[in-house]
Structure 1
Amino acid sequence: MVGFLRALTAASAVPAAAVAALALASPSSSSSSPTSRLRFPLPASVPSLSTAYAAAAARTPSAVSPMAAAAADISAPDKGTALPELTTEFMVDMKCEGCVTAVKNKLQTLEGIKNIEVDLNNQVVRVLGSLPVKTMLDALHQTGRDARLIGQGNPNDFLVSAAVAEFKGPVIFGVVRLAQVNMELARVEATFSGLSPGKHGWSINEFGDLTRGAESTGKVYNPSDYLSDKPLGDLGTLEAGENGEAQFSASKEKLKVVDLIGRSIAMYATEDRSDSGIAAAVIARSAGVGENYKKLCTCDGVTIWESS
């Protein structure tokens, strides 16, 4: 009788274990489901924008499981790793249909571009794809035409979809671009010069106070609801070559561009950020797709999105 009861218990445990395994293996949601097009009411301040994002996120199914999000950190820059798709706009010097054909033909040689639209009247080229901005800019310049980035993001999806931080010297120069891909993911791209060769820690810090450079920008940005071993603003390591130049492109989970406006990006001399910092720049809202067809900023005459 005892042997019969033991056999019956073991047999009933097998289906339960199988169900548990299937539950762990099943994703929380489909990663292929399209991002909902969300529009938020115009807020009075940036903190209320964060509230709008939180409310929208509560209504929108997450594309990332909570367990994965908690352990998420910025991806290492890797030429073999494709970035998430975004729409990127360039202002390109085009005078005729022959120019349009030349630009399209050149961009179509690049792997990772899904769609190309050209507006000859406004001299705008709109590209949907997963390539870094610099790769596309280099291709456009190879056609012999002046080109510059004027906007990036997902049209109509976000009130604030792009931001930029510019390092203006006198020693370290660079630009960091942040663009919202969806409610759970942002792209980070950076180009620097003037760094000492080797690895440098860098991060998004709490404040945009540059009175003492990076030292006065506060701690690494980390929202209270973000659960991970590393702060959300930890951007990892940036490695500069012998010429002092460094490039970076990766994606960052749970990063919301709207929450970064007015904060700063700080660069450090050491990999572990144990020093007080060597440079910093304030994060400012930048143009999204269709928002910047003017060639010059009306406030100070500086070309918007120019990285050199």
Structure 2
Amino acid sequence: MSNLFVWLKTEFMVDMKCEGCVTAVKNKLQTLEGIQNIEVDFNNQVVRVRGSLPVKLMLDALRQTGRDARLIGQGNPDDFLVSAAVAEFKGPVIFGVVRLAQVNMELARVEATFSGLSPGKHGWSINEFGDLTKGAESTGKVYNPQDYLSDKPLGDLGTLEAGENGEAQFSGSKEKLKVVDLIGRSIALYATEDRSDAGLAAAVVARSAGVGENYKKLCTCDGVTIWESS
């Protein structure tokens, strides 16, 4: 998997009250290297960024302006049946999120953040099944389409290196990976670099919103606003 960044459109909802907020948001984002274009829709409180930076860096920058911000979309849904997906690790020991976004027909972007890991290198992979009844152990083999010819399976994501604080991050891209084919499968994380153990944790890959698909600010099922949600 490549660590090279690729251009991608990402959409955030930002709690902007006035035109001064718009200016502050634009000015902050413009200080970041790897930002190609910024669009602000004040009426919908939406900021669209085309760039190569990880989501976390852009979210941190937006929040440094003193405004709350949430990721609401990534990738172009007009070009792909499924443009983005997410796998969330919800503990009790390991927490994290993996985001996948289709850049073009031959390339997908992969971003990940984890906490609760032991320091050192950990193997991780996209596995065949989304069966979490036994954690990573029941998710099957590493995902590999029949027409993919390579020494390593397509779902082999390599290794993550956790620091002394137990945190690990990754941002890069994977050739030939199609996000639409990953829905319902899983991402598994292992204690060892070669994935020879039963696995530490796993999470199911689910579809997430593309750009322009999620302007909802209030959940009708429980009345929770986007700013109150975790």
Same fold (TM over 0.5): yes
SS at structure 2 position matched to 1:107: helix
User: Per-residue deviation at 1:156?
Assistant: 1.2
1:159-191 CA-partner distances (Å, limit 9, x unpaired)? 200000000000000000000000000000000
- Structure 1 residues 283 and 231: CA distance shift in structure 2, 3 A: same
Contact persistence 2:3–2:173 (CA under 8 A):
no
Query: In the aligned structure 2, how far is the partner of 1:262 from the partner of 1:205?
Result: 10
Q: Deviations over 1:70-118 (max 9, x none)?
A: xxxxxxxxxx965111100001010100000000000011111111010
TM-score (norm 2): 0.94
Looking at structure 2, the residues matched to 176 and 110 of structure 1 have their Cα atoms a distance apart, in angstroms, of 23
SS at match of 1:269: coil
2:57 to 121, 135, 158: 135
Q: Could you tell me how far apart the structure 1 residues matched to 2:196 and 2:57 are?
A: 33
Identity %: 91
CA distance in 2 between partners of 1:205 and 1:136 (Å)? 29
Q: Give the structure with the higher percent strand.
A: 2
Summarize the Cα distance change of 1:85–1:306 in structure 2 as closer, same or farther, 3 Å threshold: farther
The answer on whether the counterparts of 2:132 and 2:138 sit within 8 Å (CA) in structure 1 is yes
Gaps of 5+ in 2: none
1:301/1:163 CA distance change after superposition, 3 Å: farther
Shift of the 84–236 alpha-carbon distance from structure 1 to 2, 3 Å rule, reads same
Q: Distance in 2 between matches of 1:270 and 1:222?
A: 21
Pairwise CA RMSD: 2.1
What is residue 9 of structure 1 aligned with on the other side? Answer: none
TM-score, normalised with respect to structure 1:
0.71
Q: Does structure 2 conserve the Cα–Cα contact (< 8 Å) formed by 1:82 and 1:130?
A: no
Query: Are 2:68 and 2:227, in contact at CA under 8 Å, matched by a contact in 1?
Result: no
Structure number with greater Rg is: 1
Q: Structure 1 168/96 Cα, relative in aligned 2: closer, same or farther at 3 Å? A: same
Pairs aligned (count): 229
Q: Evaluate the alpha carbon distance shift between residue 194 and residue 304 of structure 1 in structure 2; reply closer, same or farther with a 3 A threshold.
A: farther
**Aligned 8 A contact 2:3 2:171 in 1:** no
More helix by share: 1
* 2:78 pairs with one of 140, 150, 156: 156
Offset at residue 154 of structure 1 (A)? 2.2
Distance in 1 between the 2:31 and 2:77 partners? 25
Q: Do 1:208 and 1:264's aligned partners in 2 also have CA atoms closer than 8 Å? A: yes
Change (3 A) 1:85 1:256: same
Distance, in Å, in 1 between the alignment partners of 2:138 and 2:171 is: 26
Over 3 Å counting, the alpha-carbon distance change for 1:300 and 1:247 in structure 2 is: farther
Alpha-carbon distance in 2 for matches of 1:209, 1:297: 28
Query: Which of 192, 195, 206 is the aligned partner of 2:128?
Result: 206
Give the 3 Å change call, closer, same or farther, for CA 297–205 of structure 1 in structure 2.
farther
Supply the distance in 1 between the matched residues of 2:122 and 2:229 (Cα, whole angstroms). 20
Secondary structure at the counterpart of residue 149 of structure 2: coil
1:197-233 deviations in Å (ceiling 9; x for gaps): 1100000000000000000000000000000000000
| Relative contact order higher in (CA < 8 Å, ≥ 6 apart) | 2
Unaligned runs of 5+ in 1: 1-79
Relative distance call for 1:239 and 1:220 in structure 2 (3 A) is same
